[in-house]
Structure formats: structure tokens, C-alpha cells
Structure 1
């Protein structure tokens, strides 16, 4: 009979998830941002701010933190594009000679060198190649642009709903927490107290690891770009920092800059930059990021690593937060000894040391 009593809640949750499937991402991001920034919200409330004023200030800070760097990037890119346009015009007039390193590559056949000499090394060849390539891409670009408008509108709606939900969570925080606590105590009465503490710890640890590592990689690789002689190293460093928030973004960035240096004939600088980027990425992804994320819930290195990799490969960016949390729940269960025993809600979960 107990199993039948669980059937209706399970079916209801499944139907509700199906009903809100297009908006689950907005709700999830609003919840994650609320958990990450909740300590700041509480500090503002303790200083006498109203819930509405605190919510408006934090929302404004979140929007500015993303919009302001984007405006800077667009302004910088607009000036850089004019430089690129002048460079392309010069190369089109003089032709692009075959680099010596390209002809010496073991994997490059003579027909490739001959094609370069016939199409790129002659004056006007670069312009002809660009026009031909653009003409071939027009049908594909047209089909992509036809779906771009609705996609932008849909994403703008999801962003607006996420911000609106976040604002409501700030303003109605006590009521929302009370409802969540009631649901959690009904679903998992023995374990909810610990899960309630593990979730914010793991989420804030993941946010700290992602943001701090993104800033670190942007600064370190930006300096490396300047040493290697890459154009606009500050701009490339900012772009790398943004891309480092996304799994695989940092290696894509320094690999592209290395190929740019290689195309300019700076093979030594390209090899050095790529080697340093790979070494720095290995240190950051294998040691720094797992340490920053795992120290809050006392997770071993491999648990954090596989939580991040498994989460992002299954759920995308949201999985970066879900994976470490699930690993934290797993290791709490392993440390508790008896899975059927009641949980002490006052136990210091975050200080529960586990001998590796």
C-alpha cells in the first residue's frame, strides 16, 4: 500500500516536469543564482536594506557584471576589425606568399603548395577566394539566419523569466524556503537536514571554482599571449576568461591563438604558447579547480573531477553544479556508516573528514 501511495506524487512530478520542460532551465538558473548570492542578500538585509531594495541591487550587479564586459569587448572588437580589414586589403593587393614552414610540413603535399601559389600568392587571389567561399556559404547562412531570430527571442524570454524568478526568490525568500523544507521533509525526512546543508555548500564551491579559475586563466594566458607576441593580448585574455567559464573554452582559445601565431610564421612562439597553455590547463583542471570546489564539502580529488566531467557531459553547464552535489551526497552516505540510521541535523557535515 505504501508503494501505491507514492505513485500519485511521482506521476504528478513527472506531469509537472513535462508541463514546464521549456522553462526548467530558467527555474534552475534562478535557483542556483539565488543559492550562490544568498549570503550577500542576507548581509544587505542585516544592514537594514529592504528585501526589494536588496533584490534590485543584486540583480543590477549581476546584469552589469555580464553586460559591461560585453560592451567593452564589442567596442574593442570594432576597432580590431578595422585593423583586420586593412590587413586583408594589403594582403589582397600583394598576395600571400607561401610560408616556409608550410612547405616544410611533412603532411603537406606539393598540390597543396601549388594551390596556395595559384590562389593566394597572386594579387587579388585572397579577395576572389573570400567571395567564392562566401557565395558557397550564403544558402547555409540564410537558413541559419531564418532560425536565429526566433531563437534569440526565446532565449531572451528564458533570461527574463530567470531574472524575474530570481527577484521573486529574493523578495519571498522565507516563504519559498518554508515550502521547500516542507517538501523535503516529506520526501526524505531522515536525510533532508544534511541534504539541505550539502546543496548550498557544493553549489557555492562550484561557483567559486568556476569564477576564480576563469579569472586566473584569463590573466595567466593573457600574459602568455603578450609574451608570445600575439595581437591584442588584453582582448584575447578577456575572451579567454569568458570562454574558461565553459568546459573546453580555454583550450579552444589558446589553441586558436597558437594557430594564429603559426600562420604568421612564429612557429617557436606558437609551440611555446600551446605547450604552456596545455600545462597550465592540466594544473588548473586537475588540481586547482577540484580543490576549490571540493574543500567546502570535503570531497576527494577524483570525486570532484568525475562529478564535473560526468555532470557537464550529461546535463551541460548545469551539470557542473549537479555533479559535485551528487558526489557530495554519495560521500556523505559512505561516511554515515548506516544508510538506515537517522541523520543528526546538527552534525558538522562540511567538517566531516574522510581519510582518502
Structure 2
């Protein structure tokens, strides 16, 4: 018969997760950010900073790193909007001539050209098309806007709770680690090898790989956009960097920019940009990203790749960190689950600090 003493902790954990189900994302992000930035916190403490001062500094740096690019993005976008408005006004007055490559499309060239000549090539046609399209979208936009306010408020609350939790984790770090170690030693076999070593290493490796690759792709593709003659290359580069944080975001970005160039009649530049983006993406996804993420926990690049894709497809953005960690646990188990000298040293040091 299943003992009741073993069932009660499981029921308690399930009930607690149901109670906090709306805030588990905030707690998870706070814990992930604490694990990623904990070496910086310890370095500041060793230099004589107080826990509150270190926590406030790191929290401010994180908020600035998230809000700074967003402010730049909105500022650049506001400057580009006026340029787009002038361009649309000019095209509306003169009409939009069909691109030359449109006539070479198989099967659909004649009907597409006829539609283009009727709706876009005539003066005022662009304005009429935009009004008609906007009128059709108004009911959908109205329903979306009605839910936008509560969504923004809810996300602001979740962000505030995540930052507050992160601040408490910084300040009360030793006490939190003590309780986590106590629970881990009671529940998880080989706790020090699986959680104390693999989890921080895999999370920090994933963060390093994702941020480094996003920055690299934003810069490299932003330069490629400028060379290809794309409009607002800096803005597009920032957007590409954000999109590169998730698998599949960077190829979507440079493909859309290539299509934009193709629509403007720059077929050579569009083809060159797409080929360069595909080549750069192949190098980054097959070699750079898996090496940055997997070298800390000795994971092969296929394991890292499938861990990233599987994590983000099942758990969203937070799965980018959970997927590689699960792969690291799997390969640790496949290699025999041996605790090396560093893990043994960590365990011995932790025993001096944790009263079990």
C-alpha cells in the first residue's frame, strides 16, 4: 500500500502550484535571472558592497538592459514613421507602378498585374485601398484594443513581482540557498551533481549563448541590411537582434527584409541578402550557438539544438533554459552519473554551511 507520508508532500506541491499558477512565470524568471547573474553579485560582495547595494545595482542594470533598447527602438520607429508617411503620400499622388519582375511570374502574372493596375497604379488608389482594408480590420482591432489594457497591466504586475522576487533573492541569497539545499538533499538523488552543478552551468551557458548570438546576428545582419540598401537598417538590425533570441526569429527577419527589397525592385540585393543570411544562420545555429551553450556541460551540438527547439515549442521562452538543462541531465545520466572532484568539493563545502 502506498504510504500516506509520501503522498502528502506531492499533494502539497501540486496544491501550491495550482495556488500560484498565475505567478509561476514571475518566480521562474526571477530564479533564472538570479542564477545567471549570481557570479556578478558574489563579485560585488567580495569587493565590499552591501547586499542591498549590490542587489539594487544589478536590478537597475537589468532594467536598463531591457528598457534601453526598447526606448531606442521606439525613438527610431517614431522618426521612421514620418518618413513612411511622406513616402505613402507621394505614392498615393503618383500611383505605385508595378515592379518589372511581376510580369515574369508564372501563371499569376496577368491577374496580379490587372489587379495592380486597377488598385495601385492609379493616383489615389493606395489611399482607397488602405481605407478599405482598415475598414475591414476595424472590428478586429476594436476587440483587440479592448483587451490590450488589461493585458499590459497584468504583464506590468508580473514584471514587478519578478523584479521584487529577484531583489529578495539577492539580499537573502544565503538563506534561500540553505533552504533549497536542504530540500534538494531530501528529495533529489545526487542533488549536488544534478542541480548544484548542472543547473547553474546550463542556465548560464544558455544565457551566454542566446545573448551573444542575438547581439552578433543583430550587428552582422544590420550591416548586411545597410549594404543591401534596406530602409532603416539600424532599426531592422535591433529588431533582428531581439528576434534572434528565439530559434527561427533571425531567418524570419532577414527573409522579410529580402522580400521588402524584392518588392522594391532590387532583386540582386534581395537574393544576396537572403543567401548571406542563410549562410550566417547555418554557421551560427550549427556551430557558434551550440558550442557556447554546450561547452560548459559538455553537450554535443545536436543535444543543445533539440533542447532549445523542444523547450521553446513546449514551454515558450523559458523553455530555452529548461530544454538544455534537461539534455544536460540526460547526458550526465548516460555517462554514468559520476560525481567529479569539483562536485565533491562543492558538496563538502556545502555540508559546512547547511544544517540538515
Q: TM-score if structure 2 supplies the norm length?
A: 0.93
Matches within 5 A, 1:290-329: 290-329=290-329
Unaligned runs of at least 5 residues, structure 2: 346-356
How far apart in 2 are the matches of 1:344 and 1:129?
Answer: 68
Is 1:62 equivalent to 2:62 in the alignment?
yes
Displacement of 1:5 in angstroms is: 2.7
What residue is the counterpart of 2:105 in the other structure? 105
Cα deviations across residues 127-172 of structure 1 (Å, max 9, x unaligned)? Answer: 0000000000000000000110000000000000000000000000
How far apart in 1 are the matches of 2:342 and 2:110?
Answer: 73
Classify the secondary structure of the residue corresponding to 1:219: helix
Matches within 5 A, 1:184-203: 184-188=184-188, 190-195=189-194, 196-203=196-203
Unaligned runs of at least 5 residues, structure 1: 350-356
Matches within 5 A, 1:8-87: 8-87=8-87
How far apart in 1 are the matches of 2:94 and 2:308?
Answer: 50
Task: State whether residues 194 and 345 of structure 1, in contact with CA within 8 Å, keep that contact through their aligned partners in structure 2.
Answer: no
How far apart in 1 are the matches of 2:27 and 2:192?
Answer: 23
Cα deviations across residues 203-252 of structure 1 (Å, max 9, x unaligned)? Answer: 00000000000011011101111111111212211221111112322112
What residue is the counterpart of 1:143 in the other structure? 143
What residue is the counterpart of 2:116 in the other structure? 116
What residue is the counterpart of 1:255 in the other structure? 255
Classify the secondary structure of the residue corresponding to 2:299: coil
Task: State whether residues 221 and 237 of structure 2, in contact with CA within 8 Å, keep that contact through their aligned partners in structure 1.
Answer: yes
How far apart in 2 are the matches of 1:2 and 1:139?
Answer: 57
What residue is the counterpart of 2:236 in the other structure? 236
Cα deviations across residues 295-338 of structure 1 (Å, max 9, x unaligned)? Answer: 0001112111111111111111111100111111111111126x
Please say which of residues 140-149 and 250-259 is displaced more in the overlay.
250-259
Displacement of 1:108 in angstroms is: 2.1
What residue is the counterpart of 2:351 in the other structure? none
Cα deviations across residues 152-196 of structure 1 (Å, max 9, x unaligned)? Answer: 0000000000000000000000010001001100102x4101021
Task: State whether residues 247 and 308 of structure 2, in contact with CA within 8 Å, keep that contact through their aligned partners in structure 1.
Answer: no
How far apart in 2 are the matches of 1:39 and 1:330?
Answer: 26
Task: State whether residues 311 and 323 of structure 1, in contact with CA within 8 Å, keep that contact through their aligned partners in structure 2.
Answer: yes
Classify the secondary structure of the residue corresponding to 1:286: helix
What residue is the counterpart of 1:352 in the other structure? none
What residue is the counterpart of 2:218 in the other structure? 218
Name the CA shift for 1:73/1:346 in 2 (closer, same or farther; >3 Å). closer
How far apart in 2 are the matches of 1:158 and 1:287?
Answer: 35
How far apart in 2 are the matches of 1:3 and 1:51?
Answer: 43
How far apart in 1 are the matches of 2:209 and 2:219?
Answer: 15
Displacement of 1:4 in angstroms is: 3.7
Cα deviations across residues 274-313 of structure 1 (Å, max 9, x unaligned)? Answer: 1111121121112111110000001112111111111111
How far apart in 2 are the matches of 1:176 and 1:153?
Answer: 29
Classify the secondary structure of the residue corresponding to 2:326: helix
Q: TM-score if structure 1 supplies the norm length?
A: 0.93
How far apart in 2 are the matches of 1:167 and 1:346?
Answer: 29
Task: State whether residues 193 and 345 of structure 1, in contact with CA within 8 Å, keep that contact through their aligned partners in structure 2.
Answer: no
Name the CA shift for 1:277/1:299 in 2 (closer, same or farther; >3 Å). same
Displacement of 1:272 in angstroms is: 1.1
Name the CA shift for 1:100/1:25 in 2 (closer, same or farther; >3 Å). same
RMSD over aligned CA atoms reads 1.5
Please say which of residues 48-57 and 219-228 is displaced more in the overlay.
219-228
How far apart in 2 are the matches of 1:107 and 1:273?
Answer: 27
Displacement of 1:347 in angstroms is: 4.2
What residue is the counterpart of 1:354 in the other structure? none
